[in-house]
Amino acid sequence: VKRTGDNYGNVLKERFCDRGIKLLAALPEPYDELISAAQLSAQEISSISLKEFRHFHAFKDDMNRIAGQLKVVEERMEELRKLYASSRQKKLNEVASLASSVRDRQAQLMRLDAELQEIEKAIPFIKEALESDERKLSEASNRISSLEAEAREAASSLESERSIIKQRIGTELGSIDRLMKKLRHESPKKYALLHEYIANPGNAFIADESLEIRTILEDLRQKARKDDPERYEKAAELLRNIDFFDSLREQYKGLTNKISSIRESKSQELQPLEKEKNHLSRSVEEKHTEISQLLEKRAAKAAEKEKLAQLIATEKALLAGRLQELMQREVKLV
């Protein structure tokens, strides 16, 4: 192995040699590929960089021999290319390549057919499952609507009765509205609930657990006796009937508890149905999406199959032509 005192030059020389060996070792066997690859390899080996040119001065004689040999290779490859272009071997290679391509495409066509068949089987199966889920979803929705209607109906009469109680209390206590406003004006901070009784006496009484209204009525009765005797009678009447109104409030609270109990009971019945409905809704949506994706996939596979069939027909026609040229007789491919 020839070397020089320039270590870097030796490194470049080794790289140049390795590159050439690898290029030549990688040449393919088919003639058409071999010719093209050999010509490209010779050109690449000949194309040294300016850096390599400077350091290869010590190997000038060897590089000249390599250049001469590469020139001979290029000339022989060009001659081979021209001979091969009109040779029977090229035609045979083309026939073999076309036949191989047709076989590969036919195998691919069979795979596409199998995939399309699987899609065609899957679509009705998923549609059947979708219809089943939609029926169940409709049943669950109807059951939920029925239970909600039952709850509204059961609570409706109780709510009406409760509303009547609150309205009666509100009407009775509202009859002394002017007296309560006057009391608030005179003693605005004396009673915590006086403002609520003026704004909405029915709600205020329902919320008045400590019956502050009793003390308010006592105060009003004393003032009314001095300022407005007629009003005194109404305040006194309300004070006498305060226990009756308190019993009405207990009825109101009992009705409220019954309404809450009805709603809670129906809510417990509705929970599993709502859960089932949500699950079925998701399942229906997923199946719609899956069917849509399968239809898109089927269309894409069908288009791919049609394109592939056209390519096969084109290549088979070309293959038949090449065979006809070689055999000098009519050829039909099936």
DSSP state letters, 247-269: HHHHHHHHHHHHHHHHHHHHHHH
pLDDT average, residue stretch 137-155: 90
Least reliable range by pLDDT among 49-63, 71-85, 125-139: 49-63
Residue 291 — very low, low, confident or very high, per pLDDT cuts 50/70/90? very high
Range among 87-96, 152-161, 323-332 with highest mean pLDDT value:
152-161
Least reliable range by pLDDT among 25-29, 121-125, 203-207, 217-221: 25-29
Residue 68 — very low, low, confident or very high, per pLDDT cuts 50/70/90? low
Q: What is the CA angle 22-24-25, rounded to 5?
A: 60
pLDDT: which is higher, 74 or 322 = 322
Least reliable range by pLDDT among 144-158, 160-174, 222-236: 222-236
pLDDT: which is higher, 73 or 265 = 265
Residue 35 — very low, low, confident or very high, per pLDDT cuts 50/70/90? low
Question: What pTM was computed for the model?
Answer: 0.52
Which residues are CB-neighbours of 61 under 8 A, at least 6 positions away? Answer: none
pLDDT computed for residue 121 by the predictor: 92
Closest by Cα among 269, 243, 262, 271 to 159 = 262
pLDDT average, residue stretch 294-304: 94
Range among 15-24, 118-127, 308-317 with highest mean pLDDT value:
118-127
User: Could you give phi then psi for residue 48, rounded to 5 degrees?
Assistant: -90, 155
For residues 95 and 87, the answer to whether their CB atoms sit within 8 Å is: no
Q: Per-residue pLDDT for 168 more than 60? A: yes
User: What is the Cα–Cα distance from 212 to 220, expressed in whole angstroms?
Assistant: 13
Mean pLDDT value across the chain: 79
End-to-end CA distance of the chain: 61
pLDDT computed for residue 116 by the predictor: 94
pLDDT computed for residue 39 by the predictor: 54
Which residues are CB-neighbours of 101 under 8 A, at least 6 positions away? Answer: 315
Closest by Cα among 94, 72, 74 to 84 = 94
> What single letter denotes the amino acid at residue 56?
F
Give the model confidence (pLDDT) of 197-221 as tens digits: 999 999 999 999 889 999 998 888 8
Q: Per-residue pLDDT for 27 more than 50? A: no
Residue 92 — very low, low, confident or very high, per pLDDT cuts 50/70/90? low
pLDDT computed for residue 318 by the predictor: 79
Residue 196 — very low, low, confident or very high, per pLDDT cuts 50/70/90? very high
pLDDT: which is higher, 293 or 153 = 293
For residues 193 and 210, the answer to whether their CB atoms sit within 8 Å is: no
